[in-house]
Amino acid sequence: MRQLARLFVILAAALAGLPAAAQQYPVKPVRVIVSTVPGPLDAFTRILFEKVAAELKQPFVIENRPGAGGNLAAELIAKAPPDGYTLLSAIDTTFTVNPSLYKKLPFDPAKDFATISVPVTYGQMLAVHPSVPANSVAELVTLAKQKRLTYASGGNGTPSHLTYAYFLATAGVDMTHVPYKGTGQSVVDVVGGQVDTIFAVVTGVLPQVKGGKLRALGVSSPQRSGLAPEVPTIAESGFAGFDASFAYAVMAPAGTPEEIVQILNRAIRRALASPDVQEKNRLADYLVTDLDARQSADWLKDNRERWAKVIARAGISAD
């Protein structure tokens, strides 16, 4: 009994040291703004926060606010009350790429947000049309030095464009960029032979690779894809250190109590560890990071600096 009483005293003292908001959080539904239309990020967010809601015993209501590469949703969050009841789920490029891509942003990516989590990362697959006489990354580079090739992307400044720009700069070759309004049509035209090659998310091109309509040469992440382990990384293919990984980011307004940030980060990490979420992430080719809030903020900072160099070198602009 004495041990139990002592435990209650310790627990009460610990709770007394927390702000009232953190002791009770959450006591009402939480809005989660998704920065894209329904698609991969939206699906991931709904799966993740369904688990978080079950643990924290409050609804997490998902809303889609697409536009301007995630800037519209980010601006909304930057101006929201810092109480933990309005969160952002975004592609990391809003915070890592857009600061260099846009001449002016309606928010400060480093100062206007509290980073909760960078829950997963993912890479891109380099694929070519079967008519392109290259069976490896090295052969593609050699071919690009001999003739002018074309590469497709989902649009100027999108992950597919940035990854290819990074690859070309690393390889010391050039190709003609053919941008599209979305990754879907860009893949269709590479499959049709109108464009030679593309970097796209693994799940976006792997069915065409398996069907013989495209040939996979490499993946942009530091590790091989679990869905296509036979395909080497770009780093393994003669470009040591190459890493074009992207991620999802969960953010809150700057000034959100640190205790609330930690509550959410822990709940997200536990959700990611559940077997059903792990399987869904495997099928989506997402790599779980298990980063805490500080490590997640550092990940965004490091990648913001890395992409700034790539964008400057390639002369990419969204304006």
Beta-sheet pairing, 246-253 with 120-122: antiparallel
User: What residue numbers bound the domain in which 27 lies?
Assistant: 2-121+247-314
Establish if 297 belongs to a structural domain: yes
Segments of the chain with pLDDT less than 50: 1-5, 7-18
User: For position 319, what pLDDT does the model report?
Assistant: 60
132 and 110, same domain (yes or no): no
Q: Is residue 104 part of a domain?
A: yes
pLDDT at 183: 83
Check whether residue 29 and residue 77 sit in a common domain.
yes
Domain boundary among 237, 262, 282: 237
Q: What is the pLDDT of residue 11?
A: 40
For the chain, what is the domain count? 2
Those residues with Cβ within 8 angstroms of residue 286's Cβ, 6 or more apart along the chain or in another chain: 44, 120, 121, 122
Does residue 50 sit in the same domain as residue 92?
yes
Q: Do 267 and 226 lie in a common domain? A: no
State the pLDDT at residue 188: 96
Same-domain check for residues 131 and 108:
no
pLDDT at position 7 is 41
What pLDDT is stored for residue 127 in this prediction?
Answer: 98
Domain membership of residue 319 (yes or no) is: no
Q: Which of 237, 269, 290 is the last residue of a domain?
A: 237
State which of 208, 237, 266 marks the end of a domain: 237
